[in-house]
Structure 1
Amino acid sequence: MSIYRDILRERWNDVSPKVRASHLTGEELHANCCLDIAGSSNILGRIVSRIVSFPRAKAAAEVELRIRSSPEGEIWERFFPDCTLNSLQSVSPDGHLIDRFGKIAFRFNLEVSNGCIHHHHTDTYLTFGSLNFRLPRFVSPRVTSHEEPDPTEDASRISVSVHMPVIGYLLTYSGIVRPTGNRT
């Protein structure tokens, strides 16, 4: 199962093999990541980041990524040095990526360009069971994300930023994703 392949369909073949290797093709995928993590530069942003348990700023942080197949989609577990970020990624009825962190869900349109996958954040929802309430843009966190092939290693590179209106950036991380031999 690969929700990215399901969403991208024939465009999946345009994704670099280095990027495809960082996505689930069976039941489970493990990867070791080396990420530069930056937090908010203002006090309000740091408070919000602590409340939602974002990782603290750190250069060259060792992060473990585990992706598992589930009946609802894919479970993504990101083990940062000081916290874990878990999400459930699934396909929306209209073919978009949904990345759900607890009660908040982000909707993305995926685009492929030059072997990269760009995640275009379109909407944010609060979820309560099967009910979804779209947040207005003026209060909604904005996520910017993309994946690209690493130019020197057999690996991919990621870049993710979370921005809140008025507050500014809450979290930015970028770096290399190296899938390990634990692919099934």
Structure 2
Amino acid sequence: MSSTLFQKLLGAPFFRLPTAVRMLHSIRGHGKYAGRATITRGRNPIARLCATIAGLPRTAVDVPTTVEFHTDASGEIWQRDFGGFRMRSRLRDCGGQLGERMGPMQFRFALNVHDGAIWWQTVGVRLFGLVPLPASWFADVRCREREHEGRYEFLVEASMPLIGSLIRYEGWLEPA
């Protein structure tokens, strides 16, 4: 049986992660998780415009959240639903880094395991897959995945120089 995307990218540290995190990233084929999330969009009008263009969800508190995972040999598709707002992304291996395509943006992340959590750190960004954007603009785009009280928990924060916070969303998920 071949490795899943996160097993491949993280190697041995993957197998030392807490159970809830390992289970979510061990899905093969199709899987579905459900939980709750709180989303906070930035207040700056330019930040709001950037979040809209990127297809990010609107501000909401404690909304029902589902994520459907479709995995195959070429990567994973994550279909998120935050209280009716859908957000889709495609993840794949980009030369040992995690590539995520979301709307017109294509991100590359370095993945690290620290204190039982997976940390995503932005190392590259392209617009429409063609136009490279300065990585320094996206240094404050990051994600943390961990287990808390037996459940998978996520935190995603994105802010940019001069315009501040674009979005912050956090919550928990369990197998549905």
- Could you say whether these structures have the same fold, taking a TM-score greater than 0.5 normalized by the shorter chain as the test? yes
> Is 2:134 the counterpart of 1:145?
no
Corresponding letter in the other structure for 2:54: V
1:26 positional shift = 1.4
Q: Which residue does 2:165 correspond to in 1?
A: 169
Q: Tell me, which stretches of 5 or more residues in structure 2 are unaligned?
A: none
Q: Is the 8 A contact 1:3 1:74 kept in 2?
A: yes
1-structure distance, mates of 2:43, 2:126? 26
Greater share of strand residues, 1 or 2? 2
Equivalent residue, structure 1, for 2:90? 88
CA RMSD between the two structures: 1.9
Partner of 2:175: 179
The alpha-carbon deviation at position 38 of structure 1 amounts to 0.5
Is the 1:155–1:179 Cα contact (8 Å) retained in structure 2?
no
Aligned residues: 174
1:102 and 2:103 correspond: yes
- Hey, what's the Cα distance between the residues in 1 that align with 2:10 and 2:137? 30
The answer to whether 1:39 aligns with 2:41 is yes
Alignment deviations for residues 56-91 of structure 1 (CA, whole Å, 9 cap, x no partner) = 111111111011013531001111224211111000
Aligned to 2:9: 7
Aligned-partner Cα distance in 1 for 2:73–2:23: 22
Mean alpha-carbon deviation: is it higher for 159-168 or for 40-49?
40-49
Ranked by relative contact order (alpha carbons within 8 Å, sequence separation 6 or more), the top structure is 1
Secondary structure of 2:47 counterpart: helix
After TM superposition, give the deviation of residue 101 of structure 1 in Å: 1.0
Q: What CA distance in whole angstroms lies between the structure 2 residues aligned with 1:138 and 1:17? A: 34
**2: distance between equivalents of 1:155 and 1:77?**
19
Determine if the alignment matches structure 1 residue 116 to structure 2 residue 108. Answer: no
Identity %: 24
Unaligned residue ranges in structure 1 (runs of 5+): none
1:79 alignment partner in structure 2: 81
**CA distance in structure 2 between the partners assigned to 1:103 and 1:70 by the alignment:** 22
Deviation (angstroms), 1:138: 5.4
Change in Cα spacing, 1:141 to 1:121, as seen in structure 2 (3 Å) is: closer
